[in-house]
Amino acid sequence: MSDEAPLEGGVANAGKVVRVGAHVLRPSNRHTASIHRFLHALRETGFEGAPLPLGVERDGRERLEYIDGDVGLPPYPGWVRRDEALASIATLLRRFHDAAWRVGIAGFAGSDEMADPAGGVLVCHNDVCLENVVFRDGVAVALLDFDFAAPGRVVYDLAQMARMCVPIDDDVNAPRLGWERSDKPARLRLVADAYGLDGAGRVALLDVLSASIEQGGAFVRHRVEAGDPNFVRMWTEMGGQARFDRRRRWWDEARIRFEGALA
């Protein structure tokens, strides 16, 4: 359609998401109906930090409301790398989790590709990266792309966000996305403080991060092996398996500094 304006960002649906006036059209999947019910229920709790679904088109694309604001795309600009932006993501995620608790998981069927392996009792987003957050004046106001939502634990969802948004990554990998050197342990402490995570939650956060890093990009590798061209391109550009091996070696040495920051 001539009035479709492409929206940049993302990997799985790169090049397939468009804006049409006040709406967004993007590929649907076998979990779309369940996700739409969940997003409608979220809105009924008063949470407005997620797009409202408007149905599925005849061509199979889902239609959602467009949320006005800014999205940080790699190489990430300075404004989205600020501590204030990071803290606002953690605060938004806490508000989302509080709303998700009220909705519950009854009848929800989601993807298991990025789901918490331990399961859980609330629907988690599981893919809160900078590209999936809408900001206004540098403050996070909405989460996008619930394709990988699934029941899980609060700490798992928070750990995945921190891994991508702090980021929990070494000083070779991170700059490839535009990150500059920063005090990453202090930024993880900022996430825990802004979210309101208690002592036990902070210990669990580190354990979940360790498990996630030990997996070494299993999700991305699975998509690559399936021949997904978007993931194959990302895998190649970011250095393949060596990227994840390097991060694992770095974390083995760095974790103690993060433990100290969270104590």
CATH of the domain at 100: 3.90.1200
Residues 125 and 210 occupy one common structural domain: yes
Average pLDDT over residues 13-29: 93
Mean pLDDT confidence for 63-70: 98
184 and 231 both lie in a single domain: yes
Q: What is the pTM of this model?
A: 0.94
pLDDT by residue (tens digit) across 104-127? Answer: 999 999 999 999 999 999 999 999
Q: Does some domain include residue 198? A: yes
What confidence tens digit (pLDDT) does each residue in 217-248 have?
A: 888 888 888 888 888 888 888 888 899 999 99
Say what the pLDDT of residue 13 is: 80
Residue 141 lies in a domain: yes
Q: Looking at residue 2, what is its pLDDT?
A: 59
**Positive or negative, the Cα torsion across 250, 220, 239, 184?**
negative
Strands (E), 117-263: 122-124, 133-136, 139-143, 150-152
Final residue before a domain boundary, out of 65, 98, 117: 65
Number of independent structural domains in the chain: 2
Q: Tell whether 44 and 167 lie within a shared domain.
A: no
Chosen domain end from 40, 65, 90:
65
Average per-residue pLDDT in the chain?
95
Mean pLDDT throughout 38-50? 98
Confidence of residue 14 (pLDDT cuts 50, 70, 90): confident
Instruction: Tell me the residue range of the domain where 57 lies.
Output: 5-65
In a domain, 12, yes or no: yes
Are 157 and 28 contained in the same domain? Answer: no
Q: What percent of the chain has pLDDT over 90?
A: 84
Among 33, 65, 97, give the residue marking a domain's end.
65
Q: Considering only CA atoms, which of 44, 63, 41, 67 is closest in space to residue 54? A: 63
- Structure confidence at residue 215 as a pLDDT band (50, 70, 90): confident
**Does residue 252 sit within a domain?**
yes
How far is residue 36 CA from its own chain's centroid? 18
C-alpha separations of 211 from 8, 53, 166, 169, 236 in Å: 31, 34, 17, 14, 24
